């Protein structure tokens, strides 16, 4: 069993929190994990990604080999396309449909959607809307984690526990908002796919 996940987004969108939640859940299931992160200059409003590798056997490379990723989980549609070389043929592309427009030449959203729809296994989620409805726009990353949960080989209960652990420091209200967002994302994925 292995799940190789490329997490993608823009600096500040909380992809490292997604990585941390999946990591915690995977630790609970006694899986081997490697998680590479991007630090430094590119964090500042630029493209950010993380490779997360879960397996029941030891993991060698910190980077996912090209063409072998099982899942691209992106909090931003343009960013979801940047890492397609890592996705295997039957892999899933799960992305927020709402663009983060901080560059002057941001493509038309319809063009991006067309490219995303070329991937046979794709799931477009309006995470911003769902997060707002769940009580916090900031939790869009957890909506996306929920939407991608069916494609990650750790249990949904352990993911939810991980979210609780991760946000416990910030108080009960923040925990509940994030759990609610996670569940709403999961529900959305269940309805669409």
Partner 1 sequence: MFLLGDEAVAQGAIDAGISGCYAYPGTPSTEIMEYVQASKTAQEGGIIREWSANEKTAMEAALGMSYGGKRAMVCMKHVGLNVAADPFINATITGVNGGLLVVVADDPSMHSSQNEQDSRYYGKFAQIPVLEPSSQQEAYNMVRVGFELSEKYGVPVLVRLVTRISHSRAAVVPEKPDRRKELKLPQNLKQFVLLPSIAKGRYRKLLSSQHVFEEDAAESAFNQLILSENATKGVVACGLAYNYMMENFPEGDFPFHMLKLSHYPVPEQLIRAIYERSEELVVLEEGYPFLEDVLVGLPAKDKPVHGRLDGTLPRDGELNPYLVGKALGLPLEEPRGIPAVTVPRPPTFCPGCGHVDVYKALNVAMEEYGPGRVFSDIGCYTLGALPPYNAINSCVDMGASVTMAVGAADAGLVPSVAVIGDSTFTHSGMTGLLDAVNKKSPVTVIISDNDATAMTGGQIPAGLGKIEQICLGLGVEKEHVRTIIPLRKNYGENVEVMKEEIKYKGVSVIVARRECVRILADRKKKAKAGSEK
Residues 18-37 that bind partner 1 (CB under 8 A): 23, 27, 32-37
Residues 11, 126, 133, 187: which binds partner 1 (CB under 8 A)?
Answer: 11
DSSP 44: T
Q: Residues 1, 39, 90, 191: which binds partner 1 (CB under 8 A)?
A: 39
The helix (H) or strand (E) run that includes residue 50 is strand 47-55
Sequence-distant (6+) residues with CB within 8 A of 105 are: none
**62 exposed, middle or buried (CB, 10 Å; 0-12, 13-18, 19+)?**
exposed
Q: Residue 171 CB, nearest distance to partner 1 (Å)?
A: 8
User: Quick check: 183 and 142 in contact, CB under 8 A?
Assistant: no
Query: Least distance from C-beta 154 to partner 1, angstroms?
Result: 15
Tell me which of 47, 126, 128, 176 binds partner 1, using CB under 8 A: 47
Of residues 54-113, those binding partner 1 (CB under 8 A): 57, 59-63, 65-67, 78-79, 81-82, 84-87, 102-103, 105-107, 111-112
Which of 193, 170, 175, 69 lies closest to 123 in space, CA to CA?
193
- Diameter over CA atoms, the chain: 45
Q: Which residues bind partner 1 (CB under 8 A)?
A: 10-11, 23, 27, 32-47, 51, 57, 59-63, 65-67, 78-79, 81-82, 84-87, 102-103, 105-107, 111-112, 115
């Amino acid at each position: 069993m292995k799940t190789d996940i490329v997490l993608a987004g823009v600096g500040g969108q909380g992809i490292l929190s997604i990585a941390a939640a999946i990591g915690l859940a995977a630790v609970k299931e006694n899986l081997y994990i490697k998680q590479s992160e991007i630090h430094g200059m590119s964090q500042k409003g630029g493209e950010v990604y993380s490779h997360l590798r879960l397996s029941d056997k030891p993991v060698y490379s910190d980077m996912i080999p090209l063409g072998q990723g099982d899942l691209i989980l992106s909090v931003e549609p343009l960013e979801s396309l940047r890492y397609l070389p890592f996705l295997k043929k039957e892999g899933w592309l799960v992305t927020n449909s709402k663009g983060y427009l901080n560059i002057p030449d941001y493509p038309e959203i319809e063009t991006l959607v067309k490219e995303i729809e070329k991937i046979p296994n794709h799931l477009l989620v309006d995470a911003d809307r769902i997060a707002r409805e769940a009580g916090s726009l900031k939790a869009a990353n957890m909506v996306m984690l929920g939407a991608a949960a069916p494609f990650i080989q750790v249990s949904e209960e352990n993911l939810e526990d991980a979210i609780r652990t991760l946000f416990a420091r910030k108080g009960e209200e923040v925990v509940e908002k994030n759990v609610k967002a996670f569940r709403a994302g999961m529900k959305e994925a269940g309805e669409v796919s």
